[in-house]
Amino acid sequence: MEAGELVPDSVVNEIVSKALAEIDADDDLAGYVLDGYPRTTSQADYLDTIATIDVVLYLEVSRETLVERLTGRRTCEDCGRNYHVDFDPPAEAGVCDDCGGDVVQREDDREEVVTTRIEEYEQKTAPVVGHYDGEGLLVNVDGEGSPDEVWTTIRETVAAEV
């Protein structure tokens, strides 16, 4: 993972299968959102056998914006709180607002690793877009706006599609 490569499909599929089985057992939940899964067509094929998909959102974001966003992420070493150097920095640089721990860049958010992750996406995940587009489930969402703008668009899109 720290090298930017994907976890094997069999491992991820098992984790998702168990998580969905737990959710389905709870009658109070109307549904769920899968973020970052499926990442391969094999995972998409597997998901199609264990779940009914209502909508698949594809956030369209330029490579440059992806690199900026991912390399700007910071995490508190002690409590795990996430920050971003542009969108949500801590009040004091390098210090967690919640616990005072060190706020650092994770190894998998270094530019070299991010670049590898984007290349992995282009090779293995981009075909998933075609998979769901072919099923009529894909909705493109402009992901270039601010986090609040993108979140508003996502909420509106899901509400209209489900």
In a domain, 87, yes or no: no
Contact 128, 46 (CB under 8 A): no
* 25 confidence band (pLDDT: 50, 70, 90): low
In a domain, 137, yes or no: yes
- Of 128, 102, 118, residue with least CA distance to 5: 118
In a domain, 75, yes or no: no
Is the N-terminal amide bond of 90 cis, ω within 30° of 0?
no
- Helix and strand totals (H; E) in the chain: 6, 5
Q: How far apart are CA 105 and CA 94, in angstroms?
A: 10
Range 51-79 average pLDDT = 95
1 has a pLDDT exceeding 50: no
Q: How far apart are CA 158 and CA 162, in angstroms?
A: 6
What amino acid occupies position 3?
A: A
In a domain, 81, yes or no: no
Q: How far apart are CA 159 and CA 161, in angstroms?
A: 6
Q: Domain with 36 in it: what CATH number?
A: 3.40.50.300
Return the higher-pLDDT residue of 159 and 31: 159
152 has a pLDDT exceeding 90: yes
Q: How far apart are CA 113 and CA 121, in angstroms?
A: 12
Give the orientation angle of helix 41-50 with respect to helix 126-134, to 10 degrees. 40
In a domain, 37, yes or no: yes
The predicted pLDDT at position 161 comes to 82
Range of the domain at 35: 9-65+111-161
Q: How far apart are CA 1 and CA 43, in angstroms?
A: 17
Contact 32, 23 (CB under 8 A): yes
Instruction: Name residue 140's beta-bridge partners.
Output: 58
In a domain, 42, yes or no: yes
Q: What's the distance, CA 135 to chain centroid?
A: 21
Range 89-95 average pLDDT = 97
In a domain, 18, yes or no: yes
Q: Work out how many domains the chain is built from and give that number.
A: 1
